[in-house]
Amino acid sequence: MMSDVDKKLPGSLALDYSGLQMNSPVVLLSGCVGFGEEYTRVAGFSNRDAGAIILKGTTREPRLGNPPHRIYETPAGMLNAIGLQNPGVDEVVDNILPTLDFSETRFIANICGSTVEDYAAVTKRFDDSAIDAIEINISCPNIKEGGVSFGNDPDMSARVVEACRAETTKPLITKLSPNQTDIQENARRCIEAGSDGLAVINTLMGMAINTETREPIIGNIQGGLSGPAIKPIALLKVKQVYEVAGPYNVPIIGQGGITTAGDAIEFLIAGATAVGIGTALFYDPLVCKSINAGIADYLDKHNFENISGLVGTMRIRDNELDEAASG
């Protein structure tokens, strides 16, 4: 009998994301699967269930991360402030990447930095490696600009992407922050600076307080909110970014609160080419299987030959257009 590991996913789920051939639209998000090896210990999980795995955020030098507490469960979500704990790019490239099986899925590096020069240096190091693509985490604070996050300023975002573009020919995916005034303008600037793809969205900033001690629960005071609580926001941001990215044929990884096949299908309809799974993995490590099966069933039921036929197919009723024009 064929095992779950050996079963092939339906051909309708295969897609091209910025030149990456993926066997599924499901992407495992950075920070949720370590450096790709953690889930190999979960019984029943196979890397083949994911079209791509995004590795833990990596910086130029090793980082210890933030003081505890780093994670706190919230209603329908989770706050995290890990602080980019990682062993540094040299350790990842020299000792971790060689242990990964690139025949099973695509592996994408997630890079972070405190200066534009940091981003460029980490990109250059990954360019000379087996990694399939590079995701730019522009939600990091720029220490040369008083701690302002790169991702909340279109000029800063574009500078980072441009610097990374100069150091690699690998596909670049820019992870956009929802904590900004105009995500469409930021998306446009990142595309024009050389981004091949976009990830929409990163976490929203939030906090929690211990009412007995009247102190913040998260050691860093604030953290990134993820999980089902942010799904409606993420879905709207994907739709908005698709309006900008679509004409450029720049694909989107839609992410934020996806826990079911139905959630994933919504993001595809809104304009995402692939869908990222993060917080859901903490309580259902095998959720990829059910999401893949649900998407495949939907495509078959609605007569879509492949996943790309569903992307960006959201319909708007005429009466809603009339009301919007008059209101």
- The residues annotated with a catalytic role in the active site are 140
How are the residues of the chain apportioned to helix, strand and coil, as percentages rounded to the nearest 5? Answer: 40, 20, 40
Distance CA 101, CA 47 (A): 9
The string over 71-83, giving b where at least 16 C-beta atoms fall within 10 Å of a residue's C-beta and e elsewhere, is ebebeebbbbbbb
DSSP-based three-state secondary structure for 69: coil
**What are the tokens at 66?**
């933030």
Query: What's the token pair of residue 233?
Result: 């926001």
DSSP states of 192-248 as a string?
Answer: HHT-SEEEE--PEEE--EETTTTEESSTTS-EEEESGGGHHHHHHHHHHHHHHHGGG
To 10 degrees, what angle do helices 261-270 and 287-301 make? 60
Q: 57 vs 29, 47, 71, CA distance in Å?
A: 10, 19, 16
Adjacent-strand bridge partners of 109: 134
Beta bridge partners of 111: 58, 136
